[in-house]
Chains A and B, each alone.
Chain A
């Protein structure tokens, strides 16, 4: 399976290598660099690169390429999924996953990688188990370690791997028992020039933060489970229970995890909470173009829209823009031609707008494409699909946990074509 892993930063340095079988020379990465050069942009590097003796499978995250070397046939998604899991684990361990952090924690990283694969086949990928094997560095532990000389490596052997609930460690204890669930929905939409919706979908997740003592058995039920069109679960969820009763029943992992992701089908009408009015025009004759955007609320169920950001990739012909926003701040990068406008909250009485002129390359003909507008926003306390959690019950433990649920709607890939 996976032979080796190379971590490569954006300037093309291999800053970490790990081999699970015989050592593969790092010169194999030259093929990768070739492909990288050809692709011009990092995201366009093909995830699978064949070389004469090996295959290079890579993922690009946090400005780092994680390149796995394999030698024989293996489902590519298997490797890609694993690499993403590695990144997630690093993030879980160190808070961020970046080159300096990995370099600083190289020993922990190495120990973790050693446990994750055996002979190239995944061994322990659940972060709960890993954390039992190798404790993540924290302030307290660092202090204690320096004083007592103890280590990050867990001295009691992990039992999680052996249990029926491999995602949960045993002997969890908290003084405050709490379980929080965040229902986060993202709207993916494409709005066309005239403002009508071409496609809109809702993708939701339920992220949980569960800190409960012992082995609690939770059930979560919804008021309207029929809304969920397509779901995928954390392995802890009992599938049969969902199939029969539409109730989520599970023994939760300890800490943060994604319980569920779901999809609300495109057949259901999606309420689009914002509108964008735009007037972007280039004129053939003059070297000036007009630019105006207004963002306003629409179907928000009385909630305010916050954290609005508008970004747009302007055509190459645009040299500069002089704009005045009615609120918020805007920047235009003349090199990348990226316009971004940080709007903030939308006041329904006074929809924010951004207005001004663009200066175009003199002499050149007008750009024939109009830029697309990408929108980011957040609405607190609202799940746009209307999904509602009915109740959360706990069995198997005596204490009364503190329970909380939060709803949020965000823009996912929200684009307005102009």
Chain B
């Protein structure tokens, strides 16, 4: 429906007055004058004041560009309109400008000032688009301007502008590679950016400008891993492939241990290694094994694997493939299996996607056959598949065939042979040949099947079979005299040169098995020699020579006849061969030394050919890459490095934290953590399903360990710490350096945040994200990989403050101030709180009233209506010390019952708290009628940390797991202070 009006509309735009444009199409090059005239009228339209005329002119010009017509002579007329008010005109002018600026550099400079003005615009989107166009103009003179603009934009408040800056980097680099050093600085800066919007683009820039500077990644590695899931799809692909390379340089191979274990099992595979060891004495191997340190996966390595795994569920084939290659290259053998299912899913997609995926599956299936075996049937071929897909599937099926499934595979192949697609049939026959060579058990069956095919009516099929049979017979010629005889008979009928040549070669090679037939075949061939193809002629000479050597009595004359014919052949190869053969076999006067060895030369035992997949060894290219697909290095391909022998220092990835005794802590934790990963890996089988893989197992382990109270050592708390580290780092930095400014903005922000939080849109957003985090703790009992999604929550809550730090006034990025991370050294906190207190705002939260219900401002959700089965629980920090214990923060808990039955006996049950944190429970609430709500106060001593307090909320019938994680800002107590006192404190604090 919509197409029809669009048609007429565009007619109005481009064909109405622009009719000549269509009319002239074929002759546009030829009749220059009319071409000129047409452009004249466009120029006129562009010069008018009417936007509509301008727009029409621009539309026609763009249509010309789209069809590849040259419109460069309009440049001056178009560029004038760069400052046009009409947005569509402006956009089209941009399109034109970017297309032709390179050709008309001087004139293009006219437009620069407009963009420079745009770069200063208060609207972030205008700034971004100005930068985008400016950087797309490929005019070398403006390089310094671009550089300046990029640098400025890289520290813009708006993440969108920073993203555009990241995009501009490769553009500038391709224009002038001398700027590399400066650009790397910008990249380094942007890499540290904490927004998802920027991450993908800056990594792209990194890959194009300085992929070798892996050291820039260290500090950002963990952040990138954590952000990954929220980055847009295209960015994910780029980041994942970069991280694959990074991991290869920084971590130890997870398979080195396994290879040790399997050395005995897979002797052939690790042959060379084994041999060496044998040479040195086998006791030494035994001694060496325990001497090598047991492999322990770096927690950062694990982090990467864990955070990429959910992306296998992405709708984008490119992301799935990227994760698959990451797992293939980085994961321990036992875990690689998870990617098979996702890859098989992609086979449902468009044929182009199938094509690429199958290529990669073919490579993987050679190395890790077991991985795809359960999905064998998904590779069965349909008659409607395009030929190239059929052949790839066949390749995979052949790779997957083994002793157990070979009967089904062969049965399947049998139906393929009757396909109408002859190329495919030929490929199938080849595949059967490969199965037969790989799996000894079925060799005879295959051979028989192929022999039956020899009576097929299609010559191509027969020919292909002959070629394959030849290869198979070479493996065990003695038993197959019959088949050779059968083949000999075929020479009468079969016309395909390759097949004839193969038969002749076979007869010659095994002439002692068919002593009677061979001379007869030669006789026939001699008769038809002149009519044969070159390849056949060569084999006839070959056969003649061999027969002459074994059975010269019968064939002497024939051989001489053949050689004489060959001597006068048109093809010099054949003449050459004939001369050569004659010298070798016919003893001449000189009695050449060679002719004595002729028999050895011609009838030497020849090794059987090995039928190999063309995908063997392709895995030295990074999977999923263009180079892998083409099996040739593409321009700009980054080699996938080998695993290092010794792990580089993992501490480079630690993000610096000014204070805190974190380092020693971390070390300890790591030690505890490590064995527990390796254990779970040892247990897990190779083909675990996604739901119960080793990882999640270990996670739930860690979870339960934290539940049981030993707390600290769990990986989860590690993650949180890590995030805390970052926050802390930032918090304290802001504390010290920009204290004053910060406080002022804080003052401003508090009321603003309140207004915002109550507005519905924003609120639903933020509350939904918090509710999720509540959910996670609530459903701990399910223990379905909890830590992996738990892990996802910190980045989202962390990201918000990050953006805020840079763009304080940006409403889009606004989140309630409660998440503002500030570290809580006692002095600062008190002074800051006093500061807040000093504000004469009608801020109810600051009024010390213990049980008065605080306005819904700043309420965080503790238990969602759905999860709580009607019980809704919110909490607020009342920002005052808890009356019972000065170290405790009082938390108001609001209960309301939205179900239709009363809820009874609300109380806190068995808290599981990290060390140091304690809870003062609220008195039990007897009953909560439907629709009613109640408020209780409880005290929590967070011990000045931002670790979450986890506890159970119990009703008579149910228990809900909830957790309160305090934003740092809420851990402070109000202190009254005079201005002087405040200044004094400030003096003490500030080192500046």
A residues with CB within 8 A of B? 1, 14-19, 21-23, 26, 41, 43-44, 46-48, 50, 55, 58-61, 70-78, 80-82, 84, 94-96, 100-101, 104-111, 114, 118-119, 121-123, 125, 136-139, 142-143, 145-146, 149, 151-155, 157-159, 161-166, 170, 188, 190, 192, 198-199, 201, 203, 214-215, 217, 219, 229-235, 238-241, 243-245, 249, 251, 258, 261, 263, 266, 313, 315-316, 365, 368-370, 372, 374, 393, 395-397, 413, 415, 417
Contact A110 B66 (CB under 8 A): yes
The 8 A CB mask of B2-17 against A (1 = contact, 0 = none) is: 1101111111111000
Say whether B624 contacts A75, CB under 8 Å. Answer: yes
Using Cβ atoms and an 8 Å threshold, which residues of chain B touch A198?
Answer: 377, 380, 412
B143 is an interface residue with CB less than 8 A from chain A: no
Q: If the complex has contacts A23-B99, A164-B765, A199-B378, are A153 and B383 also in contact, measured as CB distance less than 8 A?
A: no
Q: Is the CB of B317 within 8 A of A77?
A: yes
A101 to B7, CA, bound (A): 7
22 sample A-B contacts, Cβ–Cβ < 8 Å, listed by A number: A17-B66, A21-B138, A48-B356, A50-B630, A60-B351, A75-B624, A75-B626, A77-B318, A80-B318, A106-B14, A108-B10, A109-B66, A110-B66, A137-B6, A146-B9, A152-B88, A233-B315, A235-B233, A244-B786, A245-B782, A316-B420, A397-B764
Question: Once the chains are docked, how many angstroms separate the CA of A70 from the CA of B208?
Answer: 14
Which residues 761-807 in B have Cβ within 8 Å of A in the complex? 761, 764-765, 768, 772, 775-776, 779, 782, 784-786, 788-790, 792-793
Q: How far, in angstroms, from A139 to B55 measured CA to CA in the complex? A: 20
Task: Kindly state the separation between the CA atoms of A37 and B552 in the bound complex, as whole angstroms.
Answer: 52
In the complex, the answer to whether A142 meets B315 with C-beta atoms within 8 Å is no
Provide the residues of chain A in CB contact with B352, threshold 8 Å: 47, 58-60, 80, 84
Residue of A107, A122, A244, A313 near B63 (CB, 8 A) is A107
B419 within 8 A of A: yes
**CB–CB B382/A107 < 8 A:** no
- State whether B457 touches A21 (Cβ < 8 A): no
A residues less than 8 Å from B265 (CB atoms):
none
Number of chain B residues close to chain A: CB under 8 A: 129
The residue in chain B whose Cβ has the minimal distance to the Cβ of A85 is: B316
Q: Does B159 contact A (CB under 8 A)?
A: yes
Closest to A139 in B: B5
Q: Assuming the A-B contacts A76-B356, A106-B10, A153-B88, are A14 and B138 also in contact, with contact meaning beta carbons closer than 8 angstroms in the complex?
A: no
B311 to chain A, nearest CB (A): 9
Asked whether any CB of chain A lies closer than 8 Å to the CB of B500, the reply is no
Residues of chain A within 8 A of B629, CB atoms compared: 48, 76
Partner of B315, one of A100, A234, A240: A234
- Say if the beta carbon of B294 comes within 8 Å of chain A: no
Cα distance A417–B634 in the bound complex, in angstroms: 42
A243 near B380: Cβ-Cβ < 8 Å:
no
Contact segment of B166-174, B482-490, B657-665: B166-174
Taking a contact as CB atoms under 8 Å apart, the answer to whether A396 and B353 are in contact is no
Residues of B within 8 A of A80 (CB): 317-318, 350, 352-353, 356
Question: Closest CB of chain B to A133's CB: distance in Å?
Answer: 9
Contacting pair B313 A232 (CB below 8 A): yes
Q: B819 an interface residue at 8 Å Cβ cutoff?
A: no
CB contacts (< 8 Å) of B315 on chain A: these are: 232-235, 258, 261
Task: Tell me the complex Cα distance, A20–B182, Å.
Answer: 24
What residue in chain A is nearest B325 (Cβ atoms)? Answer: A75
Q: Which residues of B contact A397 (CB under 8 A)?
A: 764
Find chain B residues with CB under 8 A from A14 CB.
Answer: 68
Complex alpha-carbon distance, A241 and B864, angstroms: 13
Question: Chain A's nearest CB lies how many Å from the CB of B202?
Answer: 11
Q: Chain B residues in contact with chain A, CB under 8 A? A: 1-3, 5-14, 51-52, 55, 59, 62-63, 65-68, 86-88, 91-92, 94-95, 99, 102, 123-126, 132, 135-136, 138, 158-160, 164, 167-168, 170-171, 174, 197, 201, 204, 229, 232-234, 237, 241, 310, 313-318, 320-322, 341-342, 344-345, 348, 350-353, 355-357, 377-378, 380, 382-384, 386-388, 412, 415, 418-420, 456-458, 624-627, 629-630, 632, 634-638, 760-761, 764-765, 768, 772, 775-776, 779, 782, 784-786, 788-790, 792-793, 812, 866
Contact among A72, A81, A241 with B772 in the assembled complex (CB-CB below 8 Å): A241
Partner of A107, one of B62, B86, B357, B635: B62
Q: Are B313 and A162 in contact (CB under 8 A)?
A: no
Question: What CA separation (Å) do A231 and B315 show in the bound complex?
Answer: 9
A199 CB → nearest B CB, Å: 4
CA distance A151 to B10 in the complex (A): 12
Is the CB–CB distance between B314 and A232 below 8 Å? yes
Residue of A nearest to B12 (CB): A146
* Distance (whole angstroms) from the CB of A85 to the closest CB of chain B: 9
Beyond A73-B635, A155-B87, A235-B233, whether A138 also contacts B353 by CB under 8 A is no
Chain B residue at minimal CB-CB distance from A78:
B318
- A residues near B377, Cβ cutoff 8 Å: 198-199, 266
User: CB distance B348 to A244 under 8 Å?
Assistant: no
Q: Is the CB of B785 within 8 A of A243?
A: yes
Q: How far is the CA of A105 from the CA of B6 in the complex (A)?
A: 7
Residues of B within 8 A of A315 (CB): 420
Contacting pair A19 B99 (CB below 8 A): yes
A104 and B10 within 8 A (CB): yes
Given contacts A46-B355, A136-B2, A241-B772, contact A149 B51 (CB under 8 A): yes
Contact A107 B14 (CB under 8 A): yes
Known: A26-B68, A368-B457. A159 touches B317 (CB 8 A): no
- Whether A55 touches B626, Cβ cut-off 8 Å, given contacts A243-B789, A365-B457, is yes
Report whether A372 and B634 are in contact in the complex, using a CB–CB cutoff of 8 Å. Answer: no
**Smallest Cβ-Cβ distance to B320: which chain A residue:** A232
Check A240/B776 contact, CB under 8 A, given A94-B3, A119-B136, A374-B384.
Answer: yes
Known A-B contacts A137-B9, A239-B789, A415-B383; A50 and B632 likewise in contact (beta carbons under 8 Å): yes
Q: Which residue of A lies closest to B790 (CB)?
A: A240
Bound-state Cα–Cα, A1 to B208, Å: 9
B313 and A233: CB pair below 8 A? yes
A142 to B12 alpha-carbon distance, docked (Å) = 10
Could you say which of B63, B124, B348, B624 contacts A77, with CB atoms under 8 Å apart?
B624
Report whether B66 and A95 are in contact in the complex, using a CB–CB cutoff of 8 Å. Answer: no
Which B residues lie within 8 Å of A219 (CB)? 866
Which A residues are in CB contact (< 8 Å) with B765?
A: 164-165, 215
Nearest CB on A from B200, distance (A): 9
The residues of A that contact B168 with a CB separation of less than 8 Å are 119
Question: Please, how many angstroms separate the alpha-carbon atoms of A96 and B6 in the complex?
Answer: 12
CB of A162 within 8 A of CB of B2, answer no
Contacts A1-B204, A397-B764 known; 4 new A-B pairs at CB < 8 A: A108-B10, A165-B765, A240-B776, A243-B788
State in angstroms the CA–CA spacing of A192 and B383 once bound together. Answer: 13
CB pair B7–A104 under 8 Å, yes or no, is yes
Contact call B237/A78, Cβ cutoff below 8 A: yes
Closest 8 CB pairs of A and B: A240-B789, A72-B636, A137-B6, A396-B764, A151-B88, A153-B88, A199-B377, A47-B352
Partner of B638 from the list A70, A73, A145, A158 (CB cut-off 8 Å) is: A73
CB of B160 within 8 A of CB of A239, answer no
Q: How far is the CA of A109 from the CA of B67 in the complex (A)?
A: 12
For B378, give its contact among A142, A240, A241, A266 (CB under 8 Å). A266
- Cβ of A22 and Cβ of B138 under 8 Å apart? yes
Asked if A214 and B625 make an inter-chain contact with CB atoms under 8 angstroms apart, the answer reads no
Query: Are the C-beta atoms of B125 and A106 separated by less than 8 Å?
Result: no
Which residues of B lie under 8 Å from residue A123 when comparing CB positions?
Answer: 167
**A243 in contact with B784 (CB, 8 Å):** yes
Interface centre among A50, A78, A118 (most CB of B within 10 A): A78
Structural contact, B234 and A78, CB atoms closer than 8 A: yes
Q: Quick one: which of A119, A190, A232 contacts B170, CB cutoff 8 A?
A: A119
> Which A residues lie within 8 Å of B761 (CB)?
170, 214-215
Chain B nearest Cβ from A157, distance in angstroms: 4
A102 to B638 Cα, complex, angstroms: 38
A residues in contact with B67, CB < 8 Å = 15-17, 106
The distance in angstroms between the C-alpha atoms of A19 and B378, with both chains bound, is 39
- Output the least CB separation between A86 and chain B (Å): 13
A244 with B313, Cβ < 8 A, contacts A151-B86, A162-B160 known: no
